[in-house]
Structure 1
């Protein structure tokens, strides 16, 4: 083993995408399932993540939180899995991994909370609108099977899981480019293993 690897999670959370990433890595790991409001807020876990949220991982004494950071870390920590392009070819990989962690997450949070950004202040939030963000992702997927290379990477795990989750809850339109992309990714053996471990996702439903 490459050091002790521990996964802190709750299956009813976005930590599911880290489970998928861990299954893609294919290395042994230990799972600690935490409950909202109890063990997730207990001193032992707050020492790992002061925000009291999941996911988090501990690898050989190193703590990593935040889904995108965990995906990037695991891809680098276990290079034999081939989940990150060579350093010279990582422009799109970094771009879309952190585009979804930043502008997409901000825009989708606005929608979930019913917040609207006044047009004259759109430049202040850095992402303009959810439609602009989705248009950028859709354009990146045009004519491509994967978001950042001609093969699956950690960026696909993160981007694909986010699109899948929000399409299922009607927060993101089921655009053909998104549906085809997610369907390809969710046919992967590692994704199916993660599903067996964490249980089924809610059935997709159309956006409101």
Structure 2
């Protein structure tokens, strides 16, 4: 118990030190700064919950643990950084396939979507027997164990996604707009305009900023 209390006290001391340094540089009242920091942290936490709630409300949506790895880093009252995985953007805005186009700036080219999240989704939704014929022309899995059958179905689904893409679910950009408004209203005017997004693909492109 003493160890936990010491750890908590250490974190509190670090936060107080950070606030002291920020106040010294900013030249504003510590009480007001501490109050604004508290509201700021509350707003960004609410944003994460808005996104997660919208994701979970989508019926049969392919949601894995990785898609919800979203965080916001509060550097100071003038800068908030949003960090997350590229799937957050792709699933929300949609992606065009090689054969079917959708209203989105994102599209598959030479690389196919990763199969691991699809395998997880097939298992979670128990799609092996319920929907196999939708994705796989030959569903005669004779001689395969269950894991191999799931893998075969997942690869077939991946091929369909690669060719035809998928429509967006619209849970990201609308909540980003809402976050900007909340920051401007509840914390500091124009703070929403200082949001910085760090959501990159494997090529180093910031996919959030792609229009």
Mark the structure with the bigger radius of gyration. Answer: 2
| Higher RCO by CA contacts (8 Å cutoff, separation 6 or greater) | 2
State whether TM-score is above 0.5.
Answer: no
TM-score by length of 2: 0.27
- Of Structure 1 and Structure 2, the greater helix share is in 2
